[in-house]
Amino acid sequence: MFSFEVESTSGRARAGKLATPHGEVLTPVFMPVGTAGAVKAVLQRDLLELGASILLANTYHLMLRPGDELVGELGGLHAFTGWRGPLLTDSGGYQVFSLAGLREIGEEGVRFRSHLDGSAHMLSPERSMRVQMNLGADIAMAFDECPPSTAPIAEVEAAAQRTTRWAERSRRAHSRPDQWLFGIVQGGVVPELRERSARELVAMDFPGYAIGGLAVGEEKPVREVVLDTVEPLLPQAKPRYLMGVGTLEDILEAVARGVDMFDCVLPTRHARNGQVFTKKGRLSIRNARFRDDPRPLDEACACLTCRTTSRAYLRHLHMAGEIVAASLLTIHNLATYLDTLRSIRQSIVFGRFEEFRQEALRSLQTTP
């Protein structure tokens, strides 16, 4: 049911094919984030038209609402949401970072106070696996601890060691044959800790590996050092997933370092706030200079938004608080990300990724 093949390379950049029970995913790939089982402000029809091939959903949030057992009883996320393509679920480990004020970490797992109603919940490796098996995504993630970028080295080391132990427990607890389980490399921005974590996880022979604990406040050059440290240690024949990163510039740099899979809330969250990504840089639709601008957001973009609406109209909708503004801007931002990833893949296939990367980075620094 599963396979992964690297079909072409250009430098360290890879173009691959990931086969899952719900379809193929061509890599490098960007996964739109549907935390609660839906990508905010867009319909599945829009995602299909945009060419999204795999979506991400979140274990912690779905465990709380509507409940993973209910989702499982209704046939899993695919049947529950109606999305027929591949799905990936995060383990809930990121919430160890993002909900630091509502949790306590121990060797057993993490005790959370629900951000919804304050109720107490324990999320352990075993519980995370039960939840993810109930959700039934094609790819599940081992439970991990994600420390902040400002954490002392001793705290980062303890989190990395705990992540290894939790990965072993996740491996033992996971038993669903139609679901791949990826391990997550931690270790903060300390190369020695990253190397140790990668070696320990590779020894467990997961079918794929994620690099977690980045895009949490560290500087970009430091992140690139971490990727340069980890990438040579990960198996060439298995997919690599950089979690939660990031901007198009970040993705270009990570692809150059051998990463295959990406997710980030930036294109959807920024759209709801009036922030627009184009292949020639970013703009804020709130800016008064767009009040009478008849141009589309990006004249080179073929998405529904750019085919049918002007900057002036989109500014009016956003400033008026119309719900459709979030939808139209999200469609465009996702189109920019997904189109860029397709172009990246094509450049790898034709052996000209580095040339494409340099051209794209220059273009992203202009003013649209």
| Angstrom distance (rounded) from CA 258 to CA 326 | 33
* Strands across the sheet containing 23-27: 3-10, 13-20, 23-27
Return the amino acid letter for 333.
Answer: N
Tell whether the model's pLDDT for residue 287 goes beyond 90.
yes
Residues 308, 244, single domain; the answer is: no
Which range among 96-105, 312-321, 330-339 shows the weakest confidence by mean pLDDT?
96-105
- Please give the backbone phi and psi of residue 179, each rounded to the nearest 5 degrees, phi first: -145, 125
| Angstrom distance (rounded) from CA 208 to CA 277 | 30
Give the CATH number for residue 222: 3.20.20.105
Numbers of helices and strands, H then E, in the chain: 15, 16
Mean confidence (pLDDT) of the chain: 97
**Domain final position from 245, 264, 283:** 264
**pLDDT interval class at 292 (50, 70, 90):** very high
pLDDT tens string 162-210: 999 999 999 999 999 999 999 999 999 999 999 999 999 999 999 999 9
- Three-state secondary structure of 286-332: CCHHHCCCCCCCCCCCCCHHHHHCCHHHHHHHHHCCCHHHHHHHHHH
**How many CB atoms sit inside 10 A of residue 181's CB?**
23
**Domain final position from 264, 291, 325:** 264
SS3 33: strand
90 is catalytic: yes
Q: State the alpha helices, DSSP H only, in the chain.
A: 44-50, 59-64, 68-73, 76-81, 94-98, 125-135, 153-173, 191-203, 220-230, 248-255, 266-272, 304-308, 311-319, 323-349, 353-364
Residues 299, 247, single domain; the answer is: no
Residues 169, 308, single domain; the answer is: no
Q: What is the pLDDT of residue 335?
A: 98
In a domain, 357, yes or no: yes
Q: Active site residue: 46, 68, 90, 260, which one?
A: 90
Domain count of the chain?
2
Q: What is the pLDDT of residue 195?
A: 98
In a domain, 188, yes or no: yes
Contact, 325 vs 351, CB < 8 A?
Answer: no
**Domain final position from 229, 264, 299:** 264
Q: Active site residue: 46, 138, 144, 263, which one?
A: 263
Residues 80, 120, single domain; the answer is: yes
Q: What is the pLDDT of residue 98?
A: 86
In a domain, 1, yes or no: no
pLDDT tens string 253-271: 999 999 999 999 999 999 9
260 is catalytic: no
Tell whether the model's pLDDT for residue 95 goes beyond 90.
no
What residue numbers bound the domain in which 188 lies?
27-264
Tell whether the model's pLDDT for residue 307 goes beyond 90.
yes
Residues 210, 153, single domain; the answer is: yes
Residues 248, 316, single domain; the answer is: no
